[in-house]
Amino acid sequence: MVINFASETARPTDVGILAMEMYFPRRCISEVDLEVFDGVAQGKYTIGLGQEYMACTDDREDINSFALTAVSSLLEKYNIDPKSIGRIDVGTETIIDKSKSVKTVLMDLFAESGNFDIEGIDSKNACYGSTAALFNAINWIESRSWDGRNAIVFAGDIAIYAEGGARPVGGAGACAMLIGPNAPIVFEPIHGTHMANTYDFYKPNLSSEYPEVDGPKSITTYLGALDNSYSRYREKTARATKPQAEDPKSAISLEEFDYSVFHSPYGKLVQKGHARLLFNDFLSNPSKSAFANVAEADAIRAIPYEKSLTDKNIEKTFVALAKPIYSASVAPTMACAKRCGNMYTGSLYGGLASLLSSIPSDDLVGKRVSMFAYGSGCAASFYSIRIKGSPKDIAEKMDLLARLQAMKVVPVEEYVSAMGLREKNHNAVDYTPEGSLDNLWPGSYYLKHIDSKYRRAYARVPAAIEIDLTLEDDEIEVLPPAPTGPPARQASTPRLVTPLPAPTPQTQTPPREPAPRRISPEVIELDDDDVIEISSPIHQSPLRPETKPDPGDRIELPDTIIQDAPMLDINDLSLEERPPVPPPPEFPAFARQIDVPERRFGPMNGARRPGPSLPPALRAGGRTALGQKFQDALASDKLVQSLGLRGLKEIGWRTEKRDRIASVERTVLPSWARPPNDKGKDRDPGERISRTITETRLIPPRAQKSQIKSGSESYPPRKPRKSSAVVHRDNTVKLEPIDLSFS
């Protein structure tokens, strides 16, 4: 049997970035604060290194959690079918296992869909691993092995250094990209690559996360790799596009690109690298008008190459010459680097994401972008991309600038503490990380536990709650979170309700629509610690009569009815605001305890009724508070005052109720509130009705012949007489004169 593997299918075109997502820790520190903390000269980190902020994380995050968060967010934001992925390539130098790859951990995200047929694995060489992973994914899609599915490339690291001069150039972050054909951001095929064996930066100590760094050598290695990869890119491009050129390198210059993205260990090195490209263009074509103002041009050209890598005059001359070009073509790519610092493998692609987020999408269409990838040790490539379609969807879904701004700037002491946690727990076994989950973004993955066999378990921070509210007349107010505990319940607030218009006579009364259900305000707590209070519209008055009033002698309702909301109570109506509550006088406990709620009707004839917020002893105007004689008598006996109503009953007091007519008034009441007349029919709504009040009388026991003693004075015994304290149903107290004798 002969199998023919030849395929008639056309090879994919315009392979590039279909989707993109960035991830970085929630916290960062200011390099200005770090200068103060380290006690160095002002500007050493911010001007000398060109750094502004640096992202940081503790032992709750590692490279696996970074990868899980970035890739899961990519899948979710762009609604990518997990089965549509045929390859995953990972580039990282944050190694936590000498054998098991990060890619295998990412397979957990595809297990539920049943997609286990995914090629690709990790690539490692310092910061260059991400570019190697990207080239692998592109080559797979453009190869005969491609099965029609897309690829994902993950690039990310946690860049940390030991205390000292290198610590300010740390950082953290990651990038996930969906690679496929017919993309808006297309990779051009030519690469200029340079590789060599150097020891400028390396991590030989597997018991520590910190690298060995040769600072001066790392700068010259970076600039030398840039020179060589750029030179080879120009040669290959010239041969492909301009084969007749006498000097291939002179045919291609920095002017060919609208923007330039560099691997960014720190801001100052990017500025030097960009100036170095201009220096290479000068060496290829010194007579170009752009270099007419270069001082001592011949002397500069005569400097040996190795010396040129460290020559300060060359650096100063071309940094100044390139400054306007840098502002236009490089500065828009530095948003991530300024906020997150060095992201190692994610640095270059964080720069591309910054460009897509900083320049309007329509202005980017048709532009060419140069890319310089570098990894210590060393490996470097210079290549280019072309933006053929609008990257607007990518920029909107990343929302990069807003998310960078939302990072929390913390004190340097907190950063040092986080580094201490990582140092203490590096290579730990059978432990649970100590870092707080409050320092993580909602929806991000974190390291939950490492068991006794070094197996790592991960969990996910609950994502932010998204609430779909259909609002009509509702009011939304965003409140700051309460400092401690749940917000206290707010007191009810009077609301103005428009009175109902008089109903018009009609032959047939249509069925009345049910009143809308009263919805109490509800409080919804969000992930970002905001509180949304949703207040329902003002409710309809419940005083609407069910029967049609007599149109001939209709009693007008007040112009404005004030109702107590949200706890609506017909017993709590008033035409005016209640007066302030004065301090209550001293009176027996039983008088203070009888202030219980009851049903009371609305105002009659505009008369103002005393509100329940007043003390019982002050509600009846013109009455002496508790009766001065009774108060004076009881003041001499603390025991009686402390007994209260129950205690008084236990020593022989008794209660007696009686009804009396308080007033006869003309009023309008709802049918359910009208008392029936003697004939069993409802009263006329405009009829004058009497208002009855039930009084409760407290009757003291018959007293024995005794005398009241107060100090040295004595009073002759008197015959006690029956007296009473009257407690009205409207919570007022009236005390009649009494004579008491206590032994």
**Which bin fits 296, alpha (ψ -120 to 50), beta or left (φ > 0)?**
left
- Residue 318, Ramachandran bin (φ over 0: left; ψ between -120 and 50: alpha; else beta): alpha
User: How many Å apart are CA 588 and CA 634, to the nearest integer?
Assistant: 8
Q: Which residues contact 572 (CB under 8 A, 6 or more apart)?
A: 564, 611, 612
Determine the pLDDT at residue 682.
Answer: 53
- Three-state secondary-structure class, residue 35: helix
Q: Which of 124-128, 300-304, 442-446, 669-673 has the lowest mean pLDDT?
A: 669-673
pLDDT at residue 463, rounded to an integer = 83
Residue 450 has pLDDT above 60, yes or no: yes
For tokens 């969906």, the residue is 178
- The pLDDT of residue 652 is 72
Three-state DSSP class for residue 45: coil
CA dihedral 415→419→420→424, nearest 10 degrees, is 160
Run of H or E including 122 = strand 122-123
Rounded CA-CA distance 87/84 in Å is 9
In terms of phi and psi (left: phi > 0; alpha: psi -120 to 50; beta: otherwise), the region of 43 is left
Q: How far apart are CA 126 and CA 375, in angstroms?
A: 5
Considering Cα of 642, then 646, then 647, then 653, what sign does the dihedral take? positive
- CA angle at residue 571 from 568 to 575, to 5 degrees? 90
Nearest Cα to Cα of residue 135 among 96, 57, 188: 188
pTM for the full predicted model: 0.65
d(CA 204, CA 213): 11
DSSP assignment of 163-213 equals: SSTTGGG-EEEEEEEEEESS-SEEEEEEEEEEE----SEE---TT-SPPEE
Domains of the chain: 16-460 (3.40.47.10), 585-743 (no CATH)
Give dist(CA 375, CA 4) in Å, integer: 42
Digit-coded pLDDT (tens) for 475-496: 555 555 545 444 444 444 444 4
Q: Which residues of 235-255 are buried (b: 16+ CB within 10 A; e: fewer)?
A: bbbbeeeeeeeeebbbbbbbe
The pLDDT assigned to 683 comes to 53
Cβ neighbours for 174, distance < 8 A, ≥ 6 positions apart: 22, 23, 24, 66, 67, 69, 70, 154, 155, 156, 157, 343, 346
Please give the pLDDT value at position 580: 60
Q: What is the C-alpha separation between 632 and 641, in angstroms, rounded?
A: 11
Most confident of 33-42, 631-640, 666-675: 33-42
Contact 207, 167 (CB under 8 A): no
Least Cα distance to 271 among 282, 260, 280, 281 occurs for: 260
Q: Residue 556 has what pLDDT?
A: 52
Is 66 within 8 Å of 23 (Cβ atoms)? yes
The pLDDT value recorded for residue 707 is 40
3-state secondary structure of 151: strand
Kindly report which listed range (54-63, 155-164, 628-637) carries the lowest average pLDDT score: 628-637
pLDDT at position 588, please? Answer: 54
pLDDT of the residue at 239? 87
Find residue 379's DSSP bridge partners. Answer: 195, 375
Q: How far apart are CA 353 and CA 576, in angstroms?
A: 62
Q: For 273-312, how does the pLDDT look when each residue is reduced to its tens digit (9 = 90+)?
A: 999 999 999 999 998 988 988 998 999 999 999 999 999 9
Mean predicted confidence (pLDDT) in 30-47: 95
Write out the catalytic residue numbers. 93, 127, 263
Cα-based distances in Å from 49 to 35, 52, 167, 404: 12, 9, 12, 20
